[in-house]
Structure 1
Amino acid sequence: MSSTVEPREGILRPVSAGVVSALVAFTSSFIVVLTGLTAVGASADQASSGLLAVSVTMGLGCILLATWTRQPITVAWSTPGAALLAATGTLEGGWPVAVGAFLVTGILIIVTGLIPQLGAVVARIPVSVAQAMLAGVLFQLCLGPITGMAENPLAVAPVVVAWLLALRFLPRWAAPIAFLVAAIVIGVHIVASGATIDAADLAPRIQFTAPELSVTGMIGIALPLYLVTMASQNVPGVAVMKGLGYEVPWRRSLLVTGIGTVAGAPAGGHAINLAAISAALAAGPEAGEDRSRRWIASVTNGVVVIVLGVASAAFGALVLLAPAGVIAAVAGLALIGTLASSLKAALAETGELVPAVVAFATAASGIAIGGISAAFWALVAGLVVRFVVRPRRAPAQS
């Protein structure tokens, strides 16, 4: 009897961990993805297509890497990257230029996997400046709950209160619970307003867009998206896994996520990468004591994310019918934890405070010079200030 129960329990733990990690990852940030894609010019259908594309590519990435390596390697969409898009806005040339930038981002990730020296160059970007840039981008979105409370308190307040209570008692589920309450608020709003949803609008759909390459797209989206994805997702993802006792195959991981990004770009997918938070859920003790079976959690994660991605059009329709302020509030609440982590990393070293604050302020300003987004100028400003104010090391005495 025990010999039958033990194998079942050994599989049940990683499967349940995989389901939880997928649900947390998807429901906590899919609104950020839709917001970012819409901000750079996607229509509602194109944004839903992009959400479906990144869901499928990250799910397949999870399944492939986990079965290939027999490690609980988890792939996720780039949430900071989506936040970057939301802060960037539409560039000249619109959605096709954004799609071209997504394609180039994937190519850069592939090249980084093939050429270790490029990864070393990215690693040399000061953590303080890179994280301050990301914090400035996130700051704009994290104002959503505040502006939403002022604009539409009756609709937004229940979402904020639910998030706050969940943060106290169920912190891992805070963002998903906020989304669940938002869905209830939207449902009540739909009934009260008499709005209707066409069943055809709920069917999953893929809309391909021919990519267009432009200088502003490369500098304004592709380069910042690549750097954010590498510095805020891939590198921490490797660190999380190492802390749990796993050595992530860097080249294989970048090749899989880079190819996945390239494949998803024409359908509107912005970027996929190694996961950090959901990686901890799938690779930690929650996935069972038997470390040799934890890879099953990542496979399960991939399957569940693909299933959720099939409902992307339904999620998109829900967002379109939301009352004023609700979606911005949910997106902001989902990113507050990431903002806190970015600020902590940016301001960790006393000698880096001024360059970090300059990078943060530049990114938070939302300026666009020459059609190039604030994220790029934040990196430039932070690096220039750092070069000027940071004392040079004195030459060694002979």
Structure 2
Amino acid sequence: MTGSLQPVLAGVVTALVGFASSFTVVLAGLRAVGATDTQASSGLLAVCVLSGASAVWLGLRHRLPISIAWSTPGAALLVATGPVAGGWPAAVGAFVVSGLLIVAAGLFPPLSRAVAAIPKPIAAAMLAGVLLPLCTAPVRALVEVPALAGPVVLVWLLLHRYARRWAVPGALAVAVVAIALTAPPARPGSAGLWPVLDPTVPSLSLSALVGLAVPLFLVTMAAQNVPGMAVLTGYGYRPPFGSALRVTGLASAVAAPVGGHAVNLAAITAALAAGPDAHPDPDRRWIASVTAGVGLALLGLGAGVATTLVLLSPPVLIEAVAGLALVGALAGALAAALAEPDAREAAVVTFVVTAAGVSLLGVGGAFWGLLAGGLMLLLFRRPRPATAPAPEDGGTVAGAATPRQPGRRPGRRGVPAGR
């Protein structure tokens, strides 16, 4: 394979895998907080285009393989949160505020450090609680629609064993075939097949800000941005974290009025563009992330088709595909939550409260889970003797891979973090 073609193909694969593996989660999340089919389609289009534009801008500016994506854990949070007080306009207002908080984290490093200072077991347990309801969908689908879900799960298992990166896209392809064979032929999706932007005037609701905006900001930072930075650091780069936060936070705020929930650093697919498979020369891998950005923006033009596909399917089947896409993230989050013996009980409390999905005072379970776990940790964790602080490595929360290459010099490319 020629050196110039290799990163381009890696970028195409990154875009395809990133889109196909989790667009169902995005649509499910937007619809859960009150979006109509057209508004959900508009939101998917917005996060695709603005994620792609952010990736192209950052890649060309810094000459680094900075992959950008939507927040899959954030979309799962929307599913777990459900309708918010004030309806869809209040949810859009929460998206705007969450994006502005990410911009603030890029402008004021103490804020990003404060998010990183949240105990990893508590943050991971909150994420696990958010992911659990969707990850149970494959089981429910096998019971409710076994003839459709059985082949989907079987293909996912086989590909997960022999070609892991294609497991979810392969399962989605099988689901598409099953839907095409069984869906009523005269049921067009109300979103339409053509891409469309459906703006909504944001409104501010205190319960939506506390119960959605703040948890969305925390989940996006802890489960996407911090691990995404760690992936780049693991491959020997010095990622411009502050610049990436400012660009993606602004993109999130711009996408919000047309339904986009969050734009951020890619975590799971970041290694596809930053690793040696993208190009043997680390200084050429930025071409892969830029290509992936262009590809994701183009795939966004199919948001109407994707939404129609969801409408033609039994809801539990699409949720099953989304759940399969999040199994790895759930496993990583549970492992991180239970890694520290002194914090396990607090992590379990966080997980249980979040997964319960209860809403109190109009605020969703993710906030109460984080609060309950934090209080539990403060009340019962035994103090330890002071030790020298461990070096910062960005941390991983959502089970994102942070591969390391022995012998690589840190800071081979790029500028110091925070710029």
Report if the CA contact (8 A) 2:37-2:190 is conserved. no
In structure 2, the partner of 1:125 is: 118
The 5-angstrom pairing of residues 1-398 of structure 1 reads 9-190=2-183, 193-197=184-188, 201-393=192-384
1:240 is aligned with what amino acid? Answer: V
Alpha-carbon separation, structure 2, partners of 1:395 and 1:344: 25
1:197 is aligned with what amino acid? Answer: P
Equivalent pairs counted in the alignment come to: 387
**Structure 1 residues 203-223: Cα deviation after superposition (integer angstroms, max 9, x where no partner):** 100000000011111111100
Percent of paired sites with the same residue = 52
Alpha-carbon separation, structure 1, partners of 2:266 and 2:315: 31
In structure 2, the partner of 1:4 is: none
RMSD, aligned α-carbons: 1.5
CA offset at residue 199 of structure 1?
A: 11
What's the secondary structure of 1:17's corresponding residue? helix
**Structure 1 residues 7-52: Cα deviation after superposition (integer angstroms, max 9, x where no partner):** x812101000000111111000000000000000000000000000
Structure 1 residues 199, 371: CA separation in 2 closer, same or farther (over 3 Å shift)?
closer
In structure 2, the partner of 1:5 is: none
Report if the CA contact (8 A) 1:131-1:342 is conserved. yes
Alpha-carbon separation, structure 2, partners of 1:278 and 1:146: 26
Alpha-carbon separation, structure 1, partners of 2:305 and 2:368: 37
**Structure 1 residues 156-183: Cα deviation after superposition (integer angstroms, max 9, x where no partner):** 1111111111111111111111111111
Unaligned runs of 5+ in 1: 1-7
Unaligned runs of 5+ in 2: 388-419
CA offset at residue 328 of structure 1?
A: 1.3
Alpha-carbon separation, structure 2, partners of 1:276 and 1:246: 15
Alpha-carbon separation, structure 1, partners of 2:62 and 2:74: 27
1:21 is aligned with what amino acid? Answer: T
Larger relative helix fraction: 1
| TM-score, normalised via structure 1 length | 0.95
What's the secondary structure of 1:42's corresponding residue? coil
Structure 1 residues 395, 10: CA separation in 2 closer, same or farther (over 3 Å shift)?
closer
Report if the CA contact (8 A) 1:189-1:323 is conserved. no
**Could you tell which deviates more after superposition, 193-202 or 28-37?**
193-202
CA offset at residue 354 of structure 1?
A: 0.2
